Copies of this chain bind each other. A is one copy, B any other.
Amino acid sequence: MPATQRSTKSHPRKPGSQSALRHLNQQRIIECLLSGPSTQAELSRQTGLSTATVSNIVKIMQDAGLVSTEPTTSSGRRATNVRLNSNGAVAVGIDFGRRHLRVVLASLGYHVIAEDYIELPLGHQAEEGIAAAVLLLEKLLQENGIDRTAVVGAGAGIPGPIDRRSGTVAQGAILPEWVGIDILHRLEEALNCPVFVDNDANLGALSEVTWGPQSGVSNLMFLKIGSGIGAGLILNGFPYYGNVGITGEIGHATIHEHGLVCRCGNRGCLETIASTTTMIELLGRGQETLLTPQDIVRNCLAGDSATQRVVDDAGLAVGRALGNVSNLINPEVIVVGGPLAGLGDLLLDPIRRGLVRHAVPVVGETTHLAMSSLGARAEALGAAALVFQHAGITGR
């Protein structure tokens, strides 16, 4: 299991390389083992791999705590039985938000063992968030009687782009206090296990195709509409990271060439029209207390016409950006998540209108739009899935 983001990054890019082949072979072995324990000879027969290859990979997986072996006999001959560890191998999923922290513990096979959630102060420093995550993890392990050594890895989601060349949070993050932090290595030091870091929208996409109802979808986009707007991509069945890891920045698609100035320094970006921050500004004029995204959902569902208009306008702008996106990557499914997911069709309908209006006809007709059903857990579940993915376990 690769210990750093950069080394893992290169995996899906070099399908012909030795490490990618090893990874694929390990995945085949785990897929066989998910249906029950098996001898090494059976694994060799089922996968088409040589017995030496199977034996090597099993040894590596055993060292990583993923499998256990025991001597047995098969057809009267000595053999080695291999089985996947369950609670003996636990993945941690951490979701760092602007003002919250969520931690889940998951066993192989995508079962949640335990989870917890705490609030963090707005504007907290990265170190505070990391310290809180360590405490919450220790608490969950203790409460569930799980040994610290059972943790095979931790995934962490950050609401902002991560530059995969340096492993640091890049500019444009919703957590400006975290920009420039080498989040990967700070977490590895604090948690003392292999760590995988990703953008929250990427983890949303991963959670949909692993834990969620979209499992088996090869080309999926997860669009998170919140204080910022970002997207995660699953392309050809794999999470997609591009050249330096900054992908899905659909919030900075230019909608109005001479529109409002965006926090990215550009003008008229989608975020200046359709983020919850903009909706709150539009709807809060002259009011004393700031609205929350939950207020927007409640007021819109209750029929408030100004809120419905603001949501409709935002949805149309999002749909326009999605039309251009769909013309480019022709996804099978676009899942919308974030704090407005409770709006359901009140938000999906204008998005769909915008999409169909701006996409090439056959693309607009065949792109399926859906609200995320994983809610606020999507990112933490996706973070745990990141660990499974790197262990070669692709889905439930």
Residues on A close to B: CB < 8 A? 12-16, 21, 24-25, 27-28, 31, 44, 48-53, 161, 163, 170-172, 218-219, 231, 233, 235-238, 240-250, 252-254, 264-266, 320-321, 323-325, 327-332, 357-363, 366-367, 394
Q: How far is the CB of A270 from the nearest CB of chain B, in Å?
A: 10
Query: Is the Cβ of A254 less than 8 Å from the Cβ of B21?
Result: no
**Residues of B close to A170: CB separation below 8 A:** 362
Q: How far is the CB of A25 from the nearest CB of chain B, in Å?
A: 7
Query: Is the Cβ of B243 less than 8 Å from the Cβ of A366?
Result: yes
**Residues of B close to A28: CB separation below 8 A:** 16, 21
**Residues of B close to A242: CB separation below 8 A:** 219, 329-332
How many copies of this chain? 2
Docked Cα-Cα span, A156 to B244, in Å, equals: 33
**Residues of B close to A332: CB separation below 8 A:** 242-243
**Residues of B close to A361: CB separation below 8 A:** 171, 264-265
Q: How far is the CB of A382 from the nearest CB of chain B, in Å?
A: 19
Query: Is the Cβ of B245 less than 8 Å from the Cβ of A330?
Result: yes
Q: Nearest B residue to A22 by beta-carbon distance? A: B48
A-B CB contact pairs (8 Å), 12 listed: A48-B52, A163-B362, A233-B328, A236-B238, A241-B330, A242-B331, A243-B366, A243-B367, A244-B366, A245-B330, A248-B327, A328-B328
Docked Cα-Cα span, A329 to B357, in Å, equals: 22
Query: Is the Cβ of A14 less than 8 Å from the Cβ of B330?
Result: no
Q: How far is the CB of A100 from the nearest CB of chain B, in Å?
A: 25
Known: A44-B50, A235-B240, A265-B361. A328 touches B16 (CB 8 A): no
Which of B27, B243, B249 interacts with A360 by CB under 8 Å?
B249
Query: Is the Cβ of B363 less than 8 Å from the Cβ of A238?
Result: no
Known: A15-B237, A28-B16. A172 touches B329 (CB 8 A): no
8 extra A-B contacts, CB within 8 A, seeds A48-B49, A244-B363, A247-B328:
A15-B238, A21-B48, A172-B360, A231-B328, A235-B235, A247-B330, A252-B327, A329-B329
Query: Is the Cβ of A14 less than 8 Å from the Cβ of B244?
Result: no
Q: Nearest B residue to A244 by beta-carbon distance? A: B366
